[in-house]
Copies of this chain bind each other. A is one copy, B any other.
């Protein structure tokens, strides 16, 4: 097959030199810039206007403006084991969508309405489309990938019992997709490791090349069979095991080595006004909701058991 990895020959988007683009907000002004890779300013952000600023303390807007966001349900073997008790969920990937209004910047607030109990993190990497893409093979798909971002595919699991599997309310609410701070090309994504932290405690870890079932080129080619992907579109590539629910005050981060680290803080907000009128499906605390929100802790390796327990009880 032409879509197995490691790849025999690296496409340009996976080869160096590394280029990371970020969009910083200073005061009320938004500025694009490129991370400095070498020399005295390495690790700082060179704005396109020439200024070099501290990258750590800056505020960032999402580095993408997608017209659509498509996410794989399960693409890591550990997640497949956790949820399906088998190493592969099926022979082919399945997908859902998040509306563009779910986009959130690095360091942003992730809203948890007070009538909801279960807001789960899922650390992921996103692949970003570079130009109009339709009806391509996996080999060709590389030419349509601009680069990669760290991302957090957050989910309000209280709504798992509604929407018949589309997860619109689970995954689609405002702020449920922190992404950034950078959009990176020139890094071999298959050589990287994904790690998610809650309040600094490691809660997810996976080597991307070893544990993901389908590469981003496969996902792009699969989707582009019937759907035109446009420049800026975001493909979320799935999460490894140990998605768990977190609470207001918790800080969640996803780091993809070589790509970057995105963070968000959970913030409580009032229940929606229409909910008080009985409009719409109300948050539910069913067995299925809890199964997904809380996971099956008995199968967790010792290495993670303590961190997951601490993260759950923090704040």
Residues of A that sit less than 8 Å from B by CB? 1-3, 21, 25-30, 32, 48-51, 59-62, 67-68, 70, 73, 90-97, 99-102, 104-111, 113, 130-132, 134-138, 156, 162-169, 172-175, 178, 180-181, 218, 221-231, 264-265, 269-270, 272-275, 277-282
Chain B residue numbers with a CB within 8 Å of A228 are 32, 48, 101, 174
Main secondary structure of the interface of A (DSSP, over half): loop
**Known contacts A28-B107, A101-B230, A174-B134, A166 near B96 by CB under 8 Å:** yes
Which B residue sits closest to A163, measured CB to CB?
A: B94
Question: Which interface residue of A59, A134, A167, A221 has the most chain B CB atoms within 10 A?
Answer: A134
Which B residue sits closest to A134, measured CB to CB?
A: B48
- B138 and A168 contact, CB distance less than 8 A: no
Measured between alpha carbons, how far is A227 from B167 in the docked complex, in Å? 13
Q: How far is the CB of A162 from chain B (nearest CB, A)?
A: 5
**Known contacts A60-B28, A111-B49, A165 near B162 by CB under 8 Å:** no
- B227 and A50 contact, CB distance less than 8 A: no
Which of the residues B100, B104, B162 comes within 8 Å of A67, measured between beta carbons? Answer: B100
Q: List the 9 closest pairs (A to B, CB-CB), nearest first.
A: A165-B165, A28-B105, A225-B272, A29-B108, A222-B280, A28-B108, A173-B226, A48-B134, A50-B270
